[in-house]
Amino acid sequence: HKCASQRYCIPSETSEKIAVKLCRLELNAKNKDRWSREIQIMKKLKHLNVVTAKDVPEEMMHIALNDLPLLAMEYCSKGDLRKLLSKPENCCGLKESEVLALLNDVGSGIQYLHENKIIHRDLKPENIVLQDISGKLVHKIIDLGYAKDLDQGSLCTSFVGTLQYLAPELFEGKSYTVTVDYWSFGTMIFECCCGFRPFLHNLQPVQWYVKVRNKGPKDIMAVEDMNGEVRFSTHLPYPNNMSRTLLEPLEGLLQLMLKWDPVQRGGGLNPDTKQPQCFALLDQILNMKVVHILNMTTTQVHSFLLSPDEGLHSLQQRIETETKIELLNQELLQETGVMLDPRKPAAQCVLDGVRGWDSYIVYLFDKSLTKYSGPLTARTLPESVNFIVRETKTQLPLSTLKKVWGEAVSYICGLREDYSRLFQGQRAAMLSLLRYNTNLTRYKNMMFSFSQQLKAKLDFFKSSIQYDLEKYSDQMQYGISSEKMLKAWQENEEKAAAFVAEIGHLDEEIMALHSEIVELQRSPYARRQGDVMEQERAIELYRQLKAKYPQHGYSDSSEMVKVIVQTVQNQDRVLRDLYAHLSKILLSKQKIIDLFPKIERTLESIKEADSTVMQMQIKRQREFWHLLKIACVSLMNSCSAFNPSKVHTHSSEHTHTHCEHTPFYAAVPGEQLEVRCLAQGHLSCGIADLRLEPTTLGLGVKLSNR
C-alpha cells in the first residue's frame, strides 16, 4: 500500500518472526475504512494459502500512527512471486514443478476466499508471497485491502502499482463477480508459464484494452508483430518449460480463465458439484498421474499420462511405440539405480506430492546396447535466438533485444539442466552397476564358501585315493587287481582338479571386474563437470542490457552469441565425455550379467560335485569292503583245507596269533593260516554279516592265486 509500510520483529515468547503493517500517512475516511476492513478480513481467515493474521506484540504498539490499528501477519521469508519471476533464468517461465505448485496453492487460496464471500480483485505476483514450510515452498495470498466493495468509479486512481492483472470489466465500471479473480489468476498462470503477460505485455492497460477486447473466446495470447498488427493464439508459446502432456489441459484452463466475457469466464458451475468448471479442470490437472521418462539413448524426455491402475507392462508397450526400444530391451531405473518392479502398477513411477518433470524422472536404457552412438543434439534454439545467431551484427531495438536475450539466457540455463539430468541418468546407471556388483560379490562369496567346503572334501578324498593307489600298487603283483576300479579312482581325482580350476578362472574374472568398477568410480567423468555452460556470463550480459539507457536505443548481439556458441560447444564436449563414461559403465554391467549364468552353473556344478564326492567316497568304501569280503572268502576257503582236530590241539597261546605283517587280501601260505577256533569263529561271524555281492559294483576284480 502507498499508505503502509512493513517491519518484522521476533516476539520473545515464541521466537516466531512476524510482519507488521502500519499506516504512515493521513488517510481519508474511505481509506481508513479500507484499512480497518483489511484487518477484519485477515483476522477471520484461516487457510494454509492465505497469509495468517497474528496478535500484535505489546512492545510494537507504540509504533502505531494516527490512532490506526496495526496489522500483524506471519512473516514469509522467501519473498514474493515477482521476485522469483524477475530472476534472469526465469525469463521464459518457471519450471513445471513451480507452476504446478502455484496452481495448487493459489487455486486453493482463491477458492477459500470465494467460499467466504471474499473477492480479492488485486491478485498479482506482488501479492503472492512464498514461505518455506518443512522444506516445501508454499504460496500465500496477501493484501486483501482492495477486497470486496472498492468504489468502482475511483478504481484506476485508487489502485497503486500495476493494473496489468485487472479484469477488463473493472476498467468499464460494470458490476463484477468472483470471475474478476479468474482473469487475474489466469494472467499470473500464463506469466509463470512463459515469462510475460498474455496480452500485449509491453502496452499500458488502456492501450491493450482496445486492441484485445475483440479477441476470440479461446485466445489466450496477443502479440504485436513487426508491422504493428496484433496476432492472437490459443496456445502457449515456445519456449516454455511445460511437458507436452500438460500443455493441452493447461491451455484449456487458460481458455476458461481468460475469456473476455465475465459471465462465460470460468466456464460456469458444474451442475453436480456446483464447483466452477475452471477449478474442476484445475483439480483434474493437479490429480493427473504423469510419468516422465528420460530416454538415455536420445536425451529426449517422454511424458505419459497414466490411466487408473495401469500396469507397468502397459506403460512399457507405450514406451516401445514412442521410442522404438523393444519392451524386452527396456531397463527403467529410478534415481537410486533401482529397477522398476514389474509386479507393481506403473504409478510406482509417480511419487506422492511430487509434480513436474523437473522434480522426478525415470531413466530409460536400451539393454541391447552397451554404447550409445550419438551425436546427441542440443535442445532446439528458439526462433528469435536462432535469428541473432545468424545475424549477429544486426542492430535491433533494445526492447526487442531484452526479449531475445532473455530467451537466450533461458536456452543456456536449459542446456545446463539437460546436462544435469543426463548426469543423473549416468549416476543411476552407476548405482545400478554397484547393485549388480554387490550381488556378484554375494554370489562370489557363496561360490567361494561352497568351493572351500568342496575343496576340503576333495582334499580328504584325494588323500584317501592317493593312499589307496599306493597300497593298491604295493599288492597288485601278488594280491588283487582291478583296472576298472583304478581308472574310476583316477578319473575322480581329475574331476576334483577340474572343479578347482573352474572356480579359480571365475574368481579371476570377478576380480578383474571389481577393478574395472573401482576405476569407473574414480574417473573424473564420474563427477559432475564444472560450470561449462556460461550461464553466469549470459545472465550478466542480460542484466547489463536491461540497465542500458535510453531504452529506445539499438544494439547488436555479438557478445551474447559468443556465449551461446561457447555453451553449445562445451555441452557437446561434456556430453561426449559423459556418454563415453556411460558406455564403460554399461559394458561392465553387461559383463556382470554375462557372469551370473556362469556362476550359477558353477554353483550347480559345485553342488553336484559335492554330491558326487560323497558318492565317490561311499563307492570307494564299498569297493574297499567288497575287496575285504573277497579276501575273507579266500581266507575261509584256505582255512577249510586244514584238519579241524589239528586246529583244536594247538596251545592256548596260539589264540593270539595274528598276521599284521601280511596283507589281509594276499594269498597266505597254509602254515600261516593256522588260527584258533575262537578266532575263526569271530571271523566267520563277521563275514556272515556281509552279503557277498561281487557284481554290484562291476569292478571286475580278480584274485591272484600263487
CB 245 within 8 A of CB 285: no
Under 8 Å CB-to-CB from 180, ≥6 apart: which residues? 119, 121, 166, 167, 169, 170, 262
Q: Are strands 702-703 and 18-23 parallel, antiparallel or unpaired?
A: unpaired
Calculate ∠ Cα 440-444-449, nearest 5°: 150
H or E, element range at 252: helix 244-257
Q: With CA atoms as reference, report the closest residue to 372 among 526, 575, 579.
A: 579
Q: Tell me which amino acid residue 602 is.
A: T
Q: Which residues of 150-174 are buried (b: 16+ CB within 10 A; e: fewer)?
A: bebeebeebbeeebbbbbbbbbeee
Distance between CA atoms of residues 531 and 416, nearest Å? 8
Q: Name residue 4's beta-bridge partners.
A: 23
Query: In sequence order, what E strands does 381-477 have?
Result: 396-397
Cis before residue 125, ω within 30 degrees of 0? no
Distance between CA atoms of residues 620 and 492, nearest Å? 11
Distance between CA atoms of residues 51 and 75, nearest Å? 9
- Give the rounded distance of the alpha carbon of 281 from its chain centre: 29
Single out the catalytic residue among 105, 122, 181, 219: 122
Cis before residue 597, ω within 30 degrees of 0? no
Distance between CA atoms of residues 480 and 476, nearest Å? 6
DSSP character string of 326-344? -GGGEEEE-TTSPBP-TTS
How many Cα atoms within 13 Å fall on the side-chain side of residue 415?
31
Distance between CA atoms of residues 230 and 207, nearest Å? 12
Under 8 Å CB-to-CB from 567, ≥6 apart: which residues? 412, 415, 532, 533, 534, 535, 538
Q: 122 an active-site residue?
A: yes
CB 679 within 8 A of CB 687: no
CA dihedral 168, 170, 174, 175 (to 10 degrees): 120
Map grid coordinates 561426449 to a residue.
576
Sign of the four-CA dihedral 577, 582, 585, 590: negative
Query: In sequence order, what E strands does 136-271 have?
Result: 136-141, 221-224, 230-233
Q: Which residues are catalytic?
A: 122
